[in-house]
Amino acid sequence: MAMIGKQVPQGPDTSAPTRRVVVKLRRAAQTAAAEALGRETALQSLARSLPGASVRPYFEDVPAPSTATPRGAGIAPEGESVFHSFAVIDVPPGTDPAALARSVGERADVEIAYVEGGPTPPPVNPGNNPLAYNQGYLVAAPDGIDALWAWGSTDGTGVGFVDLERGWTLDHEDLADANISVISGLNQDYTGHGTAVLGEVLGVDNYLGIVGIAPAVTARVVSQWRTASDYQTAAAILSAIGTMRAGDVLLLEAQTTYSTVSGYLPVEVEEAVYDAIRAATDAGIIVVEAGGNGGIDLDTFQDTNGRQILNRASADFRDSGAILVGAGGAFAPHGRLSFSNFGSRIDCYAWGEDIQTTGEMAGPAMPAIPTRRSSAAPPARPRSSPARPSCCSPGRAPSSRPMHRRTSGRCWPTPRSIPRAPTRRSTASA
């Protein structure tokens, strides 16, 4: 993804909640405990071993989808889902979270323990790119994805789309008529990024600003902020799954951190998030996941158990079923941008720079927002999302009425007559 309005988030929020350690209990331990003393005995045993620490179920308020059990995970005792195996520890003051996770992970009844990533900025490009060609990602290859051609038969009608991140300006002039609703969580921060993503995917086909890749999808959003102080990606995914159907698209505009490596990673490195994504893909939901902006070779990543879970050549590899997307240059041959993660787990790339869309300044602190924001502001530049909602739709083409997008005082013609973007070689690394 690229920055918005040339402003870059400065890293994790200083007001982040207390760091937490997430624990996945072994199924065998859960079963033995349930047979001996009751269902919650394994959790109680863990709590007793950590005096002074708060230990509780990780998924307290969000029921796991009853129709989607993660592949290969089996069925939990008494028909429960895998999500009942998770616990969370609030790290006591003065305690090293990574050390606590290592200690807990050595228990025989624990499958894995790791430090939860916590509030993390949505993926952004720390570079400073100049204003580039307007919505060049809409044109034909090798420059874009040729949404103009797709509009001849589809515009996303009949497809459900959910964007998962931290905040949005839903009454933006190019989004208001899409009637986007919040599934759950708080519309709290980084609204500029969320607004830019929605504009790129589904900007309304009207006389204002830009037009989205699939402007007629039925759109909703879900927030990682479950409450003002509770940030949890896995719970947000499960909440979204409960409202979606097979063929819908869930976009994970998120990244995380992990104790074994420095830099941002795809959210599925966290066990609970991985299981939630598997539940979604097993239910037939198309999950598109940001590859993360850490500049990391994901083949070398190891979790707290020493497993190379993102390396397709490793015996430890696990496939969540999500489409993992890296960031490439805006111009052919679209070389990898230096900040983008890479490796065999990356399925494809999308533009990571020079994207014209909706959006405002990036960052958690937003100024007062008028009732309707304009697309005439400087371009926001999130990573271009694959045109999955449009490709999967049996719907109709956008309306044929004339549209003009205002950009820095200039008018541009309708999407159907957008000329091809100029081609130049990318200076980004391959």
Determine the Cα–Cα distance for residues 306 and 248; give it in Å rounded to an integer: 34
Rounded to 10 degrees, the C-alpha dihedral 276/180/293/242 comes to: 0
Q: What is the pLDDT of residues 14-30, one digit of tens each?
A: 445 568 999 999 876 55
Q: What is the mean pLDDT of residues 356-384?
A: 45
Nearest to 86 by CA among 234, 278, 308, 281: 234
Nearest to 164 by CA among 261, 95, 238: 238
Per DSSP, helices labelled H in 106-144 are none
Neighbours of 40 (CB within 10 A): 15
The chain-wide mean pLDDT, for the chain, equals 76
Q: What is the pLDDT of residues 70-129, one digit of tens each?
A: 444 433 444 457 898 999 999 988 899 999 999 999 999 999 999 999 898 887 543 322
Q: Retrieve residue 14's tokens.
A: 């200083």
Q: Model confidence at 356, in pLDDT bands (50, 70, 90)?
A: confident
**Residue 410: is it exposed, middle or buried by C-beta count within 10 angstroms (0-12/13-18/19+)?**
exposed
Determine the Cα–Cα distance for residues 46 and 87; give it in Å rounded to an integer: 9
* % of residues, the chain, pLDDT over 90: 49
In this predicted structure, the answer to whether residue 319 has a pLDDT above a threshold of 70 is yes
In this predicted structure, the answer to whether residue 272 has a pLDDT above a threshold of 80 is yes
336 phi and psi angles, rounded to 5 deg: -60, 135
Tokens 């982040």, located at residue: 16
pLDDT given for residue 397 in this prediction: 40
Q: What is the pLDDT of residues 172-229, one digit of tens each?
A: 988 999 999 999 999 999 999 999 999 999 988 887 778 889 999 999 999 999 999 9
pLDDT given for residue 154 in this prediction: 86
Q: Which residue has the higher pLDDT, 100 or 357?
A: 100
Lowest mean pLDDT among 84-93, 298-307, 342-351, 379-388: 379-388
Q: What is the mean pLDDT of residues 255-269?
A: 96
Predicted TM-score (pTM) of the model is 0.78
pLDDT given for residue 359 in this prediction: 67
pLDDT given for residue 303 in this prediction: 97
